[in-house]
Amino acid sequence: MQMPQLPQPTYYIFKCEQSSPPGMPKPSCVNGETQGMFNYLGMSLMQKGLMGPVQLIRTSCLGRCQQGPVMLVVGQNERFMYSNLTNEKIDRIIDEHIKGGNPVTEYLIPEQFWGEPMAIK
Ligand code: FES
């Protein structure tokens, strides 16, 4: 019996949802000001009819805490880390990158924090 092909999302969005306990000196992506951002991102994707072609994934720390809030956008042969997110930036990323195919370069993490992939030995 042949199994039907399942379509795959065009984009996966990994949104860091790590929060540090109160008093922790290290910053984290989720704090009192940013705790609603994941839901905002999900609602925006839903309202624009993008759930399905885009799969939103809640993750723990992505290792870029000083530049948070961050999210990783993974496409067919591409991956982009967006940093210092706000709801307004998320709207623009959805419209220009996810819908339009053009990454919003000024919101990408600075190059020194996003080098080449580590070699697997
Ligand atoms: S807490 Fe978000 S990248 Fe570390």
11-113 placed in CATH 3.30.70.100: no
Tokens of 50: 């993008």
Ligand 1 midpoint to CA 72 (Å): 11
Q: Which residue has the higher pLDDT, 83 or 26?
A: 83
Domain map of the chain by residue range?
A: 11-113
Full-model pTM: 0.93
* Ligand 1 pocket test target in 15, 26, 29 with most atoms within 8 Å of CB: 29
Non-local (6+) Cβ contacts of 48 within 8 A are 94, 95, 99
Mean pLDDT taken over the chain: 95
Q: Is residue 65 lining ligand 1, measured as CB closer than 6 Å? A: yes
